[in-house]
Amino acid sequence: MDYGGGYSTTSYGAQGGAGGGGFMGGSQSGSQGGAGKGTYGKDTLRPVTIKQIVDAQQPHPDAEFKIDEVEITQISFVGQIRNISTQTTNITYKLDDGTGTVEVKQWIDADAANSMDTSDGTVSKPKLVENEWARVWGRLKAFNNRRHVGAHVIRPITDKMDITYHLLEATYVHLYFTKGSLDSIKQENGTATGNQEVGYGGGGADTSMNGRTMPNVSMNARNVYRVLRNSPQNNEGLHVQNISSLASMDMNEVLKAGDELLSHSMIFTTVDDNTWALLEF
């Protein structure tokens, strides 16, 4: 599905009936505003975080779950395997992605049906082990007021960048449904301000944010943003000590300014809480 702004869904190479990663939109109906909220077809596959799974709403026991007021059917997410429990009929995995934990059940019969016989030299399925990361394709279910995900496919993650890709994609899709597409936001802002792209809303005259007006933030926050934008750095960004030196600011002032920029989603933390990079759009 194309969400506008040059972004379309990715593929993580799902096989065995999962049909690929990303969000595969069905027919849209009842759209509301730029976000296109409404009921989607039964063939949707949405990237989510575990917190979104835990917070999903179910109007009544027979209804589909909803995230961001949009029905979900199939979901995809990543998580670190904290526990594996083998039962007679299923294997239960406890996954944690940093936003929450959820149980994933895979029925042994279905698992056995998809297994490959190694007696003739063929390669068996990749093994799932505790403390390693895995990707899940499945469906959110509830039984006795307790939620779990019934997994169609669960596979270990071999490229750790897939974790970052997924979390970014889940965030983008969440913003699409709650804020609208980038194209619709640009169009609405252009109409409201006479062809001036604001993006972040009013306040200030600093237009260094790719043509968008900077939010109404403090001068210290502007200085920190300027340093992050103009100083040489690698993909990890800059540590607060470097920012303090480059901006000629006290460390406490830098930290307060950083909290302000983080609250406006203008920067994000990278390797640790005190290393920041610009969040470009």
Q: What is the DSSP string of 252-269?
A: HHHHHHHHHHHHTTSEEE
Give the integer Cα–Cα distance in Å for 223 and 260.
Answer: 12
210 lies in the same domain as 259: yes
The DSSP symbol for 34 reads: G
Domain housing 72: 2-179
| CATH of residue 273 | 1.10.10.10
Is pLDDT larger for residue 72 or for residue 112?
72
Domain membership flag for residue 169:
yes
Q: Which of 179, 207, 239 is the last residue of a domain?
A: 179
Place of tokens 């600093």: 206
274 lies in the same domain as 135: no
- Using an 8 Å Cβ cutoff, are 66 and 140 in contact? no
CB atoms closer than 10 angstroms to residue 54: 13
Per-residue pLDDT of 239-274, as tens digits, reads 999 999 888 899 999 999 999 888 888 888 888 889
Residues facing 140 on adjacent strands: 149
Find, among 210, 211, 209, the residue nearest to 261 by Cα: 209
| CATH of residue 15 | 2.40.50.140
Residue partners of 268: CB distance under 8 A and separation at least 6: 262, 276, 277, 279
206 lies in the same domain as 162: no
Domain membership flag for residue 235:
yes
Supply the pLDDT for residue 264: 82
161 lies in the same domain as 237: no
Q: Taking 50 as the threshold, does the pLDDT of residue 136 lie above it?
A: yes
Supply the pLDDT for residue 202: 38
Q: What is the DSSP string of 187-229?
A: HHHHHHHTS---SS-S--S--TBTTBPPPS--HHHHHHHHHHH
231 lies in the same domain as 161: no
How does the average pLDDT of the chain come out, rounded? 76
pLDDT band at 25 (very low <50, low <70, confident <90, very high): very low
Q: Taking 60 as the threshold, does the pLDDT of residue 70 lie above it?
A: yes
Quote the crossing angle between the two packed helices 251-263 and 219-230, to the nearest 10°: 90
Calculate mean pLDDT across residues 184-191: 59
In this structure, are strands 90-96 and 101-107 parallel, antiparallel, or unpaired? antiparallel
pLDDT band at 196 (very low <50, low <70, confident <90, very high): very low
pLDDT band at 235 (very low <50, low <70, confident <90, very high): confident
Calculate mean pLDDT across residues 130-152: 92
Q: Whole-model pTM?
A: 0.54
Per-residue pLDDT of 36-46, as tens digits, reads 444 444 568 89
64 lies in the same domain as 157: yes
